[in-house]
Amino acid sequence: MRRLVPALAALGIAGCQAGYYAQLIHGQYELLSRREPIADVLARPDADAALKARLERALDARAFASSALALPDNGSYRQYADLQRPYALWNVFATPEFAMAPHEWCYLFMGCLAYRGYYELEAARAAADALRAEGLDVHVGGVPAYSTLGWFDDPVLNTILASDESLVGTIFHELAHQRRYVGGDTAFNESFATFVEQEGLRQYYRDEPARLERLGRRQRRDREFIGLMLESRQRLERIYGSALPADDMRRLKTEEFERLRRAYAEAKVGWDGDSAYDFWLAGELNNARLLPFGLYHQWVPAFAALFERAGRQWPAFLREVDALAAADAAQRKAQLESNGDAESNGDAHN
């Protein structure tokens, strides 16, 4: 910390930007300082049995990620850190009132992202309030885990231990970020990692029929719910592109969110009372609340199609992903759109 904080001045970062980087450094340092080898936790006779079972699963999934999915084999997810809070950090998302385009923040080393992370909830809320004062739609969401893209050995966190599936899926997702990350293209990065997570989970649990069936049901409901969110985004984009007066667009925007709530209630009837998604519809709905769905899922069908064309072989698939990442932004988007069209026409499955 004594070396890192003064370095901000040397990098020419001033004012609130320096303060923001300082909280990032402090938060990351605090997280890393809590790490301990999973092997040490497992060796403690007084360690909680449920925690031990989750950490044993983490090590098994970690080995599978490298041996079966061709993901990086390094020191990440071989240590454990209890942050004693429900989330690793909180992300702030923002959009204009009449647009779905994200407000972006640019960072050293990582390029521009469609969100801004804070290690303290109150700091995230304060940042959100400032953006609202500028007339933006804003959403604050808790983040269970994140990747440092190989800069550090990321640990398994207490925030991802709710279920085996969330633990295993998060390890696959974050290692995918380490494998390929494109600065300034959040939708590419998150859709790629989401596909790796989903397909990786299906392969990891393929010898556990009951769990695989539950996973399949959850992923089908996820896709149905995400479809509702993306459809609502598309309706809103048409409203915002209509050149109507602001008051009319505001009224239609309100009506669209009411339609979305009704559509969700109708879909939920067929989900056997599953309430896992209720929190997304709770409270205020705005553009920013829908934003993560476009970022994390926009290109998942395209990556699914690419995986099929690679013969469902991870090394071949990852080489194709590398080629996409090396293309310029326009070429990359065009190729992903083409892949997505192929998937929707039945050439691939997810």
Encode pLDDT of 28-39 as tens digits: 999 999 999 999
Assess whether 223 and 100 both reside in one domain.
no
- The SS3 assignment for 50 reads helix
Residue 109's pLDDT is 64
**What rounded mean pLDDT belongs to the chain?**
90
Residue 184's pLDDT is 83
Assess whether 57 and 154 both reside in one domain.
yes
Burial 55-78 (b: 16+ CB within 10 A, else e): bebbbebbebbeeebbbeeeebbb
Query: Would you give the DSSP letter of residue 26?
Result: H
Residue 349's pLDDT is 37
User: Are the C-beta atoms of residues 141 and 23 closer than 8 Å to each other?
Assistant: no
286 located within any domain: yes
Run of H or E residues at 147? none
Mean pLDDT calculated for residue range 137-150: 94
Highest average pLDDT, of 110-114, 216-220, 234-238, 345-349, comes from 234-238
Locate 254 and state its tokens: 């309100």
Per the rule left: phi > 0, alpha: psi between -120 and 50, beta: everything else, 34 is alpha
105 located within any domain: yes
Please give the tally of structural domains in the chain: 3
Of the pLDDT bands very low, low, confident and very high (cuts 50, 70, 90), residue 343 is: low
CA dihedral 56, 62, 65, 66 (to 10 degrees): -130
110 located within any domain: yes
Single-letter code of the amino acid located at 42: L
Give the domain-ending residue among 204, 239, 263: 204
150 located within any domain: yes
pLDDT surpassing 90 at residue 21:
no
Residue 242's pLDDT is 95
Give the domain-ending residue among 174, 204, 234: 204
Encode pLDDT of 269-312 as tens digits: 988 878 889 988 888 899 999 988 877 788 999 999 999 999 99
Q: Report how far residue 320's alpha carbon sits from residue 231's, in angstroms, rounded to the nearest whole number.
A: 29
Assess whether 137 and 102 both reside in one domain.
yes
Per the rule left: phi > 0, alpha: psi between -120 and 50, beta: everything else, 283 is left
The size of the chain, in residues, is: 350
Question: What's the whole-model pTM score?
Answer: 0.85
The more confident residue out of 2 and 152 is: 152
Assess whether 92 and 113 both reside in one domain.
yes
Assess whether 71 and 156 both reside in one domain.
yes
332 located within any domain: yes
Assess whether 242 and 322 both reside in one domain.
yes
Assess whether 44 and 169 both reside in one domain.
yes
Residue 12's pLDDT is 40
Closest CA to 305 of 291, 321, 327, 294: 321
172 located within any domain: yes
Locate 166 and state its tokens: 């969330």
Assess whether 188 and 61 both reside in one domain.
yes
The more confident residue out of 71 and 272 is: 71
Assess whether 235 and 312 both reside in one domain.
yes
Angle separating helix axes 300-309 and 314-326, nearest 10 degrees: 130
Give the domain-ending residue among 169, 204, 239: 204
Mean pLDDT calculated for residue range 84-97: 96
Assess whether 162 and 232 both reside in one domain.
no
pLDDT surpassing 70 at residue 177:
yes
Assess whether 45 and 18 both reside in one domain.
no
pLDDT surpassing 70 at residue 11:
no
Helix and strand counts by DSSP (H, E) for the chain: 14, 8
Q: Report how far residue 138's alpha carbon sits from residue 103's, in angstroms, rounded to the nearest whole number.
A: 10
210 located within any domain: no
214 located within any domain: no
Of the pLDDT bands very low, low, confident and very high (cuts 50, 70, 90), residue 316 is: very high
20 is in which domain, residue-wise? 1-33
- The SS3 assignment for 298 reads coil
Assess whether 59 and 163 both reside in one domain.
yes
